[in-house]
Chain A
Amino acid sequence: MPADPWLIYRWMLASRLFEQEVARLWHAGLVSGEMHLGTGEEGIDAGVVTHLGEGDAMALDHRGTPPLLMRGANPVSLLREILGREDGLCRGRGGHMHLFIPELLSASSGIVGASGPMAAGFALASQQLRPGRVAVAFFGEAAMNEGALLESLNLAVAWRLPVLFVCKDNGWSITTHSPSMTGGALLARARAFGMPAADVDGTDALAVSAMTEALLPHLRQGNGPAFLLARCVHLDGHFLGDALLEAVRRPLQVLAPMAIPLARSALSRHGARFRDRSHAVTDLLTRAGRASSAARSLPDPLDRTRRALLGDPDRLRMLEATVAAEVRAVVDVALEETP
């Protein structure tokens, strides 16, 4: 069944507003540690999750919040978990990188690549216990260089496991441009394992949904895994406070303190040839710019999905007001003290 664009937009908007609240709370110092948001990848998450149902499993990476919200996780307990409260989803033990919902067969991990083997295991259990149900592995393009993930691609083919491998390709791994560290093309890589693979513009949620719909019967009929490569941007960078993004937004504050030690190092006696040093310094100075222009090269998936709905402005306005009110209410309730 083709996805309902209204539902998809509702999910994406709810997730975006929720994560914007997470960002606000993080900036206010109410959330500790790192914070990886899924802002910008909602089109991929929504397009895939809309085809999941009872008994389907999800193995998530460090950006697990959007797919969980879309899958129906309780947003109040999710937010409380992120806030580290003992009345949170995992009693404050996990935090945003370690979210677990047994009823939804959904588990996340902060270890890059771990979602591959985890999804293979979920799929093995489907094969034995719940034929027709599938497991989705969400991961970034840089995780495609992690051995465990590559091994799980092969394992899934060898055992005909119903895994949908969803590779969210934002082109970056923290400060490293992924193509510079990746041999060959990811789609060809997946196909080389002997599974069907497709790529899609991940900023187009409806296209992701259509592609997912086309791939899933292969899995549900017991023919083994499939691979979906979807491009996206992470609008808030790798994590909140991302140095590259900050360097673009506040170049003086970020780059100035680095300049003197950098210049001193580049000019020290005994080192590489001048050409190599100047290449390194130029690379450092331009890396932030390259990251940000990559980010600007793709549309915001939310705007894009919204555009398909402009034909009914009243319904759209109402939906947006409702979702905004719902998210506000979630935050208010989540922040309440409980006895």
Chain B
Amino acid sequence: MSSVGFAEAIDDAIAERMAVDPAILVFGEDVQLLRRNLYARFGAERVRNAPISEAAFLGAAVGAAMAGLRPVVEIMMADFLTVAVDALVNHAAKLADFSGGSWGAPMVVRVACGGGYGDGGQHEQSLWGWLAHIPGMAVVVPSNPVDAAGLMRTALAHDGPVVFLEHKLLADNWLEALGRGGRSGLEFDVPPAGARAAHPLPANRVAFGRASVVRSGGSLTLVSLGVGVHQALEAAEALAEDGISAGVIDLRSVSPLDRGCLVEQVGQTGRVVVVDEDYLRFGLSGEIAACLLEAGLRPRFARVATEGTIPFARHLERSALPNPDRVMRACRQVLSS
């Protein structure tokens, strides 16, 4: 049976829309090679290499979006968004509010993120909580090719800015270039169900702000996104062997956040473990706790997140990022009463 990879699924969803919407342009550093299948089909006018000038081309995307285009801008890694973030924070995200709702910037910022291949703390950050902190832009983080394609279709129909984060352990082209580099025998914790899906993919959209309950369970709810979803599923399976029924929520979008789903699921179990590859403090995991409290719930709560700068060494990196052992420990902690 043939299958489709994560990045390929996203590329195909973009191609699908580019074929019918001439307003869509793809640009970013090295995209002609990186997205060569789009380049070969849509040519150099619509698939443009950019200089290493993120502040300029991300800023230009905002202007282009305001003036009738629908740019898909690639920023190689979330870490590099930092040099250009004014375009998002002060401009794209503010436009609809500043203009009293009369003007929008429909654009997609496609960004590789995440760690697990030993590239160090300037190349492996997730930063989705940091981005989602800003009102006025959507931030989505798919965990598998089907959702990735479905979210990209929605992004390409959205009327405002969308940051679309693709994890490098799921997108095989990124892992190949940055982690493997043509070497054999290296091991990475690539979740098979996250990296590939059966061909053909369903052609539907995945709405923003709609989490997916990927496993139901009565005694504990694991909440995650991206690669963390697969670690949560692994933990849930291990718990099932001990007779504990754990459910798993795949958030899929950070902003908007599916508060209803969280409240409903955790309301049933009274125990929640958040698995979040972004930083621990002032981020998504705290937001989830707040949203449960605001809904009047008082669940047992634990979180597994990235606690500090991600170290380069693989063994240190492994313990700094969420991993199955840490997830299991957190589960036992909330179950222990």
Q: A residues engaging B (CB < 8 A)?
A: 26-27, 29, 32-35, 84-86, 90, 92-95, 97-98, 109-113, 142-143, 145-148, 173-176, 180-182, 239-241, 243, 246, 258, 261-262, 264-266, 268-273, 276-277, 279-281, 283-284, 287
Sample (8) of A-B pairs whose CB atoms are under 8 Å apart: A32-B186, A95-B119, A98-B120, A145-B53, A148-B83, A243-B177, A265-B36, A279-B44
Q: Please state if A98 and B122 are interface contacts (CB–CB under 8 Å).
A: yes
CB-defined contacts of B122 to chain A, threshold 8 Å: 97-98, 109-111
Given A35-B181, A110-B120, A272-B45 in contact, is the A284-B33 Cβ separation under 8 Å? Answer: yes
Cα distance A26–B180 in the bound complex, in angstroms: 10
CB distance from B40 to the nearest CB of A (A): 4
With CB as the reference atom, state the residue of chain B lying closest to A27. B183
CB-defined contacts of B41 to chain A, threshold 8 Å: 265-266, 268, 271-272, 277
Q: Please state if A280 and B83 are interface contacts (CB–CB under 8 Å).
A: no
Q: Please state if B80 and A111 are interface contacts (CB–CB under 8 Å).
A: yes
Cα distance A112–B51 in the bound complex, in angstroms: 11
Is residue B49 within 8 Å, beta carbon to beta carbon, of the partner chain?
Answer: yes
CB-defined contacts of B123 to chain A, threshold 8 Å: 33-34, 97, 110
Most buried by B among A93, A261, A266, A287: A93
Is residue B37 within 8 Å, beta carbon to beta carbon, of the partner chain?
Answer: yes
Cα distance A93–B124 in the bound complex, in angstroms: 13
Given A174-B29, A271-B41 in contact, is the A142-B52 Cβ separation under 8 Å? Answer: yes
Cα distance A113–B80 in the bound complex, in angstroms: 11
Q: Please state if B19 and A270 are interface contacts (CB–CB under 8 Å).
A: yes
Q: Please state if B36 and A262 are interface contacts (CB–CB under 8 Å).
A: yes
Total A-B residue contacts, Cβ distance less than 8 Å: 176
Given A97-B120, A243-B33 in contact, is the A29-B313 Cβ separation under 8 Å? Answer: no
CB distance from B5 to the nearest CB of A (A): 11
CB distance from A303 to the nearest CB of B (A): 27
Cα distance A305–B241 in the bound complex, in angstroms: 67
With CB as the reference atom, state the residue of chain A lying closest to B8. A261
> Which B residues between 305 and 322 are near A, CB-CB below 8 angstroms?
309, 311-316
Cα distance A243–B178 in the bound complex, in angstroms: 11
Is residue B100 within 8 Å, beta carbon to beta carbon, of the partner chain?
Answer: no
Q: Please state if A111 and B79 are interface contacts (CB–CB under 8 Å).
A: yes
CB-defined contacts of B121 to chain A, threshold 8 Å: 93, 98
Most buried by A among B15, B47, B53, B309: B53
What 5 A-B pairs come out closest when comparing CB atoms? Answer: A32-B118, A241-B181, A276-B43, A272-B43, A95-B312
> Which B residues between 164 and 214 are near A, CB-CB below 8 angstroms?
177-183, 185-186
Q: Please state if A92 and B51 are interface contacts (CB–CB under 8 Å).
A: no
Is residue B56 within 8 Å, beta carbon to beta carbon, of the partner chain?
Answer: yes
CB distance from B77 to the nearest CB of A (A): 10
Is residue B42 within 8 Å, beta carbon to beta carbon, of the partner chain?
Answer: yes
> Which B residues between 113 and 134 are near A, CB-CB below 8 angstroms?
117-123
Most buried by A among B8, B80, B177, B179: B177
